Amino acid sequence: MASKTPHADSMTEPCESCGRETPHTVTVELRTESAAEENAEFSREPYRVTTCRECGGRRAQRMNDA
Ligand SMILES: [Zn+2]
């Protein structure tokens, strides 16, 4: 079973802006995809958002992508 973290957590990940591994705050956001207005029920996709603690850069990755 995959481990879930229900709250913001921090982990070290590579940051493109910093050019090295930095501590990141990791959160999950539900984002509405404008391309799927007719399927509002299914248009909210979970994104894993990482915020670099060094430069504040944010990156969002859709979690549903295979
Ligand atoms: Zn950074």
User: Could you tell me if residue 66 is inside a domain?
Assistant: yes
In a domain, 22, yes or no: no
- If you measure from the C-alpha of residue 36 to the centroid of ligand 1, how many angstroms do you get, rounded to a whole number? 32
Question: What pLDDT, on a 0 to 100 scale, did the predictor assign at position 63?
Answer: 86
Is residue 14 included in any domain, yes or no? no
How much distance in Å is there from the Cα of 47 to the middle of ligand 1? Answer: 19
Domain assignment present for 44: yes
CA of 62 to the centre of ligand 1 (A): 20
Cβ atoms of residues 47 and 58 within 8 Å: no
d(CA 22, CA 12): 5
> Is residue 32 one of the residues assigned to a domain?
yes
Instruction: Please check the confidence at residue 10 and state whether its pLDDT lies above 70.
Output: yes
> What is the extent of the structural domain holding 55?
27-66
Label residue 55 by pLDDT band (50, 70, 90): very high
Q: Is residue 12 a part of any domain in this protein?
A: no
Domain contains 11: no
Q: Tell me how crowded residue 24 is: count the other CB atoms within 10 A of its CB.
A: 22
pLDDT at residue 3 greater than cutoff 60: no
Distances (CA, A) of 8 to 15, 21, 50: 18, 19, 10
Report the domain count for the chain: 1
Centroid of ligand 1 to alpha carbon of 10 (angstroms): 13
In a domain, 4, yes or no: no
